[in-house]
Amino acid sequence: MIKLKERREHRRFRAEDGAFAVLRRPWPHRTTLGRIEDISMYGLAFGYVAGEEPTHKSAELEIQWNDCSFRLKKVPSKTVSDFKAATRGRFSSLEMRRCSMQFRKLTPHQKSKLEYFIQNYTTLHRP
């Protein structure tokens, strides 16, 4: 078995069930909601159902907990990758995609909220 080398420079954390990324686009485009798979202080990856519009350059990223008890709005970011993901289990009939986003220059308030999110809604991810 070939072991792939981890390319990321920064430690990643696996998001707990209930952590979502929301990409809000200008009208008339649709909003994309996806489950955050992993996150760091420098970016995140999330899965979403294909068929929705692909990521868009002018989308605003929001990080939230399912009951909206945590929300981090207007996170400056850019799309690094967006590709078809392997599906399994109950979603096997749906085409899923995985989108990776890199955070841009965060404000001190955004950094603080992101640190809080990582401390309270994630576990350490070991590849």
Torsion region of 50: left, alpha or beta (phi above 0 gives left; psi -120 to 50 gives alpha)? beta
Query: Domain extents for the chain?
Result: 13-121
User: Is CATH 2.40.10.220 what the domain over 13-121 is classified as, yes or no?
Assistant: yes
Long-range contacts of 123-126 (CB under 8 A, 24+ apart): 123/13, 123/14, 123/16, 124/11, 124/13, 124/14, 125/11, 125/12, 125/13, 125/14, 125/38
Return all residues near 69 (Cβ < 8 A) that are at least 6 apart.
Answer: none
Bridge partners (DSSP) of residue 123 are 14
From 23-32, 49-58, 90-99, the region with the lowest mean pLDDT? 49-58
Instruction: Please tell me the pTM assigned to this model.
Output: 0.82
Query: 5: pLDDT confidence band, cut at 50, 70 and 90?
Result: very low
